[in-house]
Amino acid sequence: MIDHERSAQVRADAPPPAHPVAGRVRLEGEFKQALETGRNRLIVTAGLFALVFAVIAGRLVEVTLFGHGEPRSAGGPRPGALETFRADITDRNGVILATSLETASLYANPRQVIDPAEAARKLVSVLGGDEGEIRDRLASGKSFVWLRRNLTPRQQYEVNRLGIPGVDFQRDERRVYPVGGIAAHAVGFTDIDNKGLAGVERQFDEKLRTAQRAVRLSLDVRAQYVLREELLKAIDEFSAEGAGGLVLDAHTGEILAMVSLPDFDPHRPGAQPPETRFNRMTLGVYEMGSTFKLFTLAMALDSGVANLNSTWDATGPIHISRFTIKDFKGQNRWLTTTEVLQYSSNIGAARIGVAMGPARQRDFMKRIGMLDAASVELPEAGLPMYPSTWREINAMTIAFGHGLAVSPLHLANGVAALVNGGILRPATLLKRDPTQVPLGQQVIKPETSKTMRALMRMVVEKGTGRKAEIDGYRLGGKTGTAEKVSAQGGYARKALLSSFVAAFPIDEPRYVVLVMLDEPHGTKATGGFATGGAVAAPTLGRVAARIGPILAVDPAERAPKPLPAVQDARARGQGVAAN
């Protein structure tokens, strides 16, 4: 009896029996509830652990690949963010003119800096600079401040050794220019964030940011160096305010050299006066003086208004309204068309301008590109300045290079059309594939171009450009001496713009070269003269002599090609100007 009661008691205290349901054991009552509660807690705990591990893993990935996640600057990428390097800029032969180097930039989270004063003192001991300024930045309470951009590896190492809390580095890049200021105006420069601010850097800013290959320019750094060196010598010799020069492929329009002086260091463009960043060759517009007589003769010969033996009254000055047109060294006689160029007669050129008439002259200047912006790939491109109403007085002054202002690039490109068979092609700073040279526009007849080459050669042999003559190369060109416009209006008689433009070898021109000196002064060797023939012509001759071999121009002297028959005006007597 007792055993039965104990057995019943045991059964009463035992958990409820499990009932088999479809092959499973089903738990009931408090035991089942406890088991479910434990399992739920285990699932929640496992989920929390998984979330924590996911956050930690994500943070590790972020720190490893993207740095510290602080804002770089307002609206900018984060420090350490991987960026595509800016593409290189090279010359036509692959010489690097601009490239990017990986650097480290120093920044801080001031909220994490324990002692701003002590940190500033340590940083200045390594980096230099204003200790007070750095201290103020570190004490600003901001979450991000720049301390120094583009550290050298040595500076980065020394700062890292300091172990200052809250101070760290960002992967950065710095734009560098291996040839320095030699091609500064063409290549341009960037700001500290590598945004293009001038030159090709600005013109092709987006392309340079996204390009996979270098942007190749038409420049030849060897010719660039020679041109710059000779211009620097000329500035020193003639105490000039500045200078500029161009070397242009006469058949493709490619610019092989372009120099504007004074120039600047593209690594520190703001360290020099603002005028050093002014590109005289493309942005400056000037009255180019007697070099324009080439266009005057070309349009007169091409239109049939004149031939080489036409004669023009240069017996005395021309008085029109309140103006007087006279020659620098007047012949005081009638001159043939050839002699107008040989003696650089303003009077003779003015007579030709009148014979052409304002309308035809304007049309020709438009056709040869003198009235439109130059096509060069630079943001620094000046617009020509010309009269809104083209009157007879304008036709006279423009005929000898006053009253119409253009950039030196306009002049060089127009002269290229005069000597290359009469085809005007847009100038370019990009290297052109020989098979993709633009067809261009025929602006004068090939026969006229041939005559112009002979006339330009005559200027160097017997005219105002004799000082440009060099051994080995037959040059042909034209001098120019223009009085600069003064700030008070009118012309400053002692402030000259002296230039010489030439093609070589003139019998089969390959290159057009232009040299311009701003306010040169005569020397004892020049007889006190500072004209284009006295100062610019010999400078250009030295440039051609040096770049000829570099550019593989055959130096062999060729037999001279005579001019078409020209009758001396003195033998003909005082004739009437051809119409």
Q: Which active-site residues does the annotation give?
A: 290
DSSP 135-200: HHHHTS--S-EEEEEEE-HHHHHHHHHH--TTEEEEEEEEEE-TTGGGGHHHH-EE-TT--EEEHH
Residue 26 φ then ψ, to 5°: -105, 125
Give the Cα separation of 383 and 372 in Å (integer).
7
Identify the sign of the CA torsion 355, 358, 363, 367.
positive
Give the Cα separation of 537 and 291 in Å (integer).
12
Identify the sign of the CA torsion 166, 170, 175, 179.
positive
Q: Exposed (0-12), middle (13-18) or buried (19+): which is 81, by Cβ within 10 Å?
A: middle
Buried b (16+ CB within 10 A) or exposed e, 274-286: eebbbbbbbbbbb
Give the Cα separation of 548 and 473 in Å (integer).
8
DSSP 577: -
For 374, how many CA atoms within 13 A lie in the half-sphere containing its CB?
A: 29
**To which residue do tokens 């003086």 refer?**
289
Give the Cα separation of 475 and 460 in Å (integer).
7
| Cβ–Cβ under 8 Å, residues 474 and 502 | no
Q: Tell me the Ramachandran region of residue 253: left when phi exceeds 0, alpha when psi lies from -120 to 50, beta otherwise.
A: left
**Bond before 178 cis per omega within 30 degrees:** no
> Residue 282 corresponds to which tokens in the numbers above?
């493309």
Where are the alpha helices (H) located in 14-115, listed in sequence order? 30-66
Which is nearest to 356 in space by CA: 313, 411, 297? 297
> Residue 454 corresponds to which tokens in the numbers above?
């002979």
